[in-house]
Amino acid sequence: MLKRHTYLVMSLLVTALFVTACSSSPTGRSQVVFRSDDALAAESARQFAEMRASIPLETDRVTIDYVHCVTTAIVAELEPEYRDLDWDMAIFDHEAVNAFAMPGGKIGVMTGILDAADTPDRLAAVIGHEIAHVTARHANERASRSPAANIGVQVVAVLLGGGNRGATYTAYEALNAGATLGIMLPFNRGQESEADVIGLEYMARAGFDPRESVNLWQNMSAETGGNDPAEFLSTHPSDERRIDSLVSEFGKTLAIMNEARANGRNPDCQM
């Protein structure tokens, strides 16, 4: 009788876990999230601090103000739950063509990405995309799908997965040597595509031009010399597919941008 009772209680707990863990992403995609947001945020803070201690920070005031201006404008347009976070940003003096955002409100930008994100609108496309990974709880979803994985490795994966290009891709692969392809990669293609859609809306709400996202990805492709991993081996959509998807959102996001600008949101961020 005791065993039966225990089994019943465990069954109810498991059922409750699945019911409470099932939710929808901002685009309506069904997702399952088990991991504690607080635990991910705490580990993100630790990894972010280690990164700031080990990689030189950008010291040029013009560059710092430029990135801060774009980032602040986008954060101001987030949902209250995320807008009110104590966001912490670091600009790393590093050649990697990469940027990332982490749970708990950590944003990192490598100076190497500024050659491709060479206008405020293009940088806004980068920042909007990376913040969207946080607001869509992609890190939580990824960690939840790999319950046996160490949470620290998961957060490092988030950190290193922003661009998945060049040195960054190699670093992640080294970190997870022997990991199963598609299980331990930072974000899957569905999450990357979703971050594109959400990020476009964020930048448009702030008054940035979503059409410049196409020029950004064309620049990104040129920066890497067309040597990206094949699409089926990468977490990111191919540049061609990504651009087609972005263009399909312009009808909606241009209307959002026009309304934002009519209401006085037209950031004056200078490089």
The answer on pLDDT for 143 being more than 70 is no
Q: Taking the domains of the chain in order of start, what are their residue ranges?
A: 33-262
| Mean pLDDT for the chain overall | 74
Quote the pTM value: 0.74
pLDDT at 27: 54
What's phi and psi for 90, nearest 5 deg? -135, 140
pLDDT value at position 241? 77
Q: Which pLDDT value is given to residue 163?
A: 44
Pairing of strands 106-110, 88-92: parallel
Active site includes 130?
A: yes
**Which of 142, 137, 244, 239 shows the shortest CA–CA distance to 195?**
137
At 45 the pLDDT is 86
The one catalytic residue among 130, 141, 201, 212 = 130
Instruction: Give which of 35, 168, 33 is closest to 108, Cα–Cα.
Output: 168
Tokens of 99: 């940027």
Residue-wise pLDDT tens digits, 184-233: 345 677 788 889 999 999 999 999 999 999 999 888 877 766 555 443 33
Statement: residue 268 has pLDDT above 80: yes
The answer on pLDDT for 147 being more than 90 is no
For residue 155, what is the enclosing H or E element?
helix 151-160
